[in-house]
Amino acid sequence: MGGFSLGCGLGWSAPCVEILRSQLDDFAINVIASVFPAGAALGTIAVPLLVDRIGRKWTMMVLVPAIIIGWILLISAGTLVPLYVIGRLVTGACGGMCCVLIPMYSAEISEKHIRGTTGVFFQLLLVIGILYVYITGFTRNVIAISSLCCIAPIVFGVTMSFMPESPLFYLIKNKEEDARKSMRFFRGPDFDIEPEINAFKEQVERSKYQNPNISIFMRKPVLKTLAVAYGLMFAQQFSGINAIIFYGFTILEATGVGLESQIELVIFGVVQVVSCVGATLLVDKVYCDDEHLGRKVLMVISFGTMCVCLAALAGFFILVKYQPQLADQMHWLPLTSVCVYILAFCFGAGPIPWAYMGEIFPTRLKSAMSSSAAFFNWLLAFTVTISFPSAAEVLDYSVVFSFFAVLCALAVLFVIFCMVETKDKTFAEIEHAYGTDVLARNEEPSSMQ
């Protein structure tokens, strides 16, 4: 439900931007649309200050009243731009924190063989939230849309109140009995939890020597892990996804196709949900040459397909400019390209970087490193959303989408050569694959070596 709330915030711009155009100038509209990821970037900074002190659950619970206040500001804004900006900043900050907290919590409560699936649920609920906002767009009323979105964080708070804290967090705080109660909640009373509890205890013991100071972040294994996380976040955002989500209505209007743009918006919202359901079923079941390559195969297929779709969309805008009659005959191409693009994104490039981030970072460094990667992601999202309208106006849509297509092609190479597969691996095995397990060994006192 945290993902659903974030989806409401992300999807809000697409219907509301066009409604507000009759009341506000273009500059104000662009600021309102793009300030959400700026708020999300700022929100990620607060996560390390809270998550290792009050826990994963209670940090999420703190967000609930803040998100509700943000939506109340949007409901009451009217034509006051500052209220829209503050409301979007607040909801964005809470959304950015959710992007760090939820994959972390999800990874820590899941068995290793379903960790990919549960990680993708965050993205699944996010896209359902986006679809929900697209459907509310038929009200043609910003107050109604914002009011309906305000329901999501209330449900989030109520449902999360029944969940226990992460067992790994309890062990970090030396509360072994609470960790066992939490694990039994998630596994059931008859499940043998001892192997997982022991693995977590060993992980916590090793992590005691991973002191989160500046020098440890300069170590080669940590820099390598951060570089992969940053690379995936860069590829995700410069695939152009937020430009299409935030300005989907405007982009579809620009194609000049006859179908009502709000209906097209809902269609590709449905495609997001269907494809995310597929990704949830597949992410832990994809094999290649008898090796478990679930994450990597999906990422390569995802970015490769997105590259083709963006190239097709760029080609359509060239036809609109130079061969309008031929473009009319190919009226099906923009919506088809966007739908397949969204489908491909939800199969890999969307959910996997966030779920992957919850898997690859060392325990003691996880909050700081996850927040850093999320901050970078949302900073890029802000850059894309604030610059997209101007770039499309100055350079034309065809050039902008061609640029995104080239970056998707480069992302395929990055995934193939740099990404380590994490499917069916324990956290200890993942740390060994990235070399971050040596941090604990190098810093153990000699009596323990």
Q: pLDDT tens, 54-68?
A: 888 888 898 899 999
Q: Considering the entire predicted model, what is its pTM?
A: 0.71
- Cα 200 to chain centroid, rounded: 26
Residue in 243, 245, 272, 346 with CA at minimum distance from that of residue 303? 346
Residue 229 to residue 272: CA distance in whole angstroms: 23
Q: What angle do CA 322, 326, 329 make, to 5 degrees?
A: 145
* Residue ranges for the chain with pLDDT beneath 70: 116, 119, 206-213, 246-250, 252-262, 264, 268, 278-294, 363-364, 437-449
By CB atoms closer than 10 A (0-12, 13-18, 19+), residue 195 is exposed
Query: For residue 140, what pLDDT is reported?
Result: 85
Show the tokens assigned to 150: 């305000």
Q: What integer pLDDT is reported at residue 292 of this predicted model?
A: 45
**What pLDDT is attached to residue 90?**
93
pLDDT of residue 284: 52
The reported pLDDT for the residue numbered 277 is 75
pLDDT at position 437 is 64
Return the number of other C-beta atoms located less than 10 Å from residue 311's C-beta. 18
What pLDDT does 445 receive? 43
In the structure encoding, which two tokens stand for residue 311, read together? 């190239």
Is residue 408 a contact partner of residue 313, using CB atoms and an 8 Å limit? no
**Residue of 14, 2, 401 lying closest to 245 (CA atoms):** 14
Position 429 scores a pLDDT of 78
Tell me the H-state helices in 137-239: 142-149, 151-160, 167-172, 176-187, 194-207, 214-217, 220-237
What pLDDT score was predicted for residue 127? 82
Cβ-Cβ contacts under 8 Å for 70 (sequence gap 6 or more) = 86, 87, 88, 89, 90, 91, 94
**What does the pLDDT read at residue 93?**
92
Under 8 Å between Cβ of 121 and 3:
yes
Cβ(335)–Cβ(271) below 8 Å: no
Domains of the chain by range and CATH?
2-173+196-448 (1.20.1250.20)
CA distance 111 to 106: 10
Rounded to whole angstroms, the Cα distance separating 236 from 233 reads 5
pLDDT for position 387: 86
The DSSP symbol for 114 reads: G
